[in-house]
Structure 1
């Protein structure tokens, strides 16, 4: 029997809610302004990649905790666009914020971030406790 992991339960619940909202009739309003992310892990690191097209690096804030990453910032509307001349607008402008639970505990003080071509990449080393979970056993 595996040990109960509340972070894993929260992450699974979050996935279920996101899936439900994406399939709902209101999906066109869901997620506006929140960056889409991919999270994966290697043996030593947890890696998050977020889509942030049109967001300037100076308009981004990243906060890394041992159990989550919080992304916030602002997508600014171009000053050359005059509202009275708009024919159609679908892009989101304004502030956004998203807190993403991590699959394992990490060393937040060693986090690194890089922003290139509208993709924010954050790499955070796993804590020693997270690396040691589980072990191979011999079969008698």
Structure 2
């Protein structure tokens, strides 16, 4: 039987060899980006839509979806309900986007187009939905669809 220290040394040596092989076979990220820079289009110029964080709750006979849309033009917020799918879309504009020579020290806020589509947990009456905007918070109230009723079976003697 081999000494346990020898087994661990063998495992570590094997891992070191695998690491050396892997690093030689795969170029570093920096060199890959440098060589591919001219070949690919500049993906940073394409504007992506941000995704909203949402809360979905049941309040009485309604499903309520709440999200923060602070900074969005309230006239351009769109809310769609189709069957059991809710979509919220809009655009947030930074108060600094029109200023010249803006240089950020730290930037976490999302500015630009946003959207969120969610499948609701139960059937709803989308045509009766209503949306409320208060202090940067959008709440969409959608009445729940009446659940199927239990139908009694009447036995008829023949």
- TM-score grouping bracket, smaller chain normalisation: 0.5 to 0.7
The 1:80–1:107 alpha-carbon spacing in structure 2 relative to 1, beyond 3 Å, is closer
* TM-score under structure 2 length normalisation: 0.57
Secondary structure of the residue aligned to 2:147 is helix
Contact 2:70 2:135 in 1 (8 A): yes
Indicate the RMSD between aligned Cα atoms, in angstroms: 2.2
Secondary structure of the residue aligned to 1:128 is coil
Residue-by-residue CA offset, 1:15-59 (whole Å, 9 max, x unaligned): xxxxxxxxxxxxxxxxx8222111011341101111112112112
Number of equivalent positions: 101
* TM-score under structure 1 length normalisation: 0.63
Matches within 5 A, 1:1-140: 33-78=50-95, 81-88=98-105, 89-129=107-147
Higher relative contact order (CA 8 A, sep 6+): 1
Q: Which runs of 5+ in 1 are unaligned?
A: 1-31, 134-140
Q: Which runs of 5+ in 2 are unaligned?
A: 1-48, 151-158
Contact 2:132 2:140 in 1 (8 A): yes
Contact 2:73 2:90 in 1 (8 A): no
Displacement over 4 Å in runs of 4+: none
For 1:10, the equivalent position in structure 2 comes to none
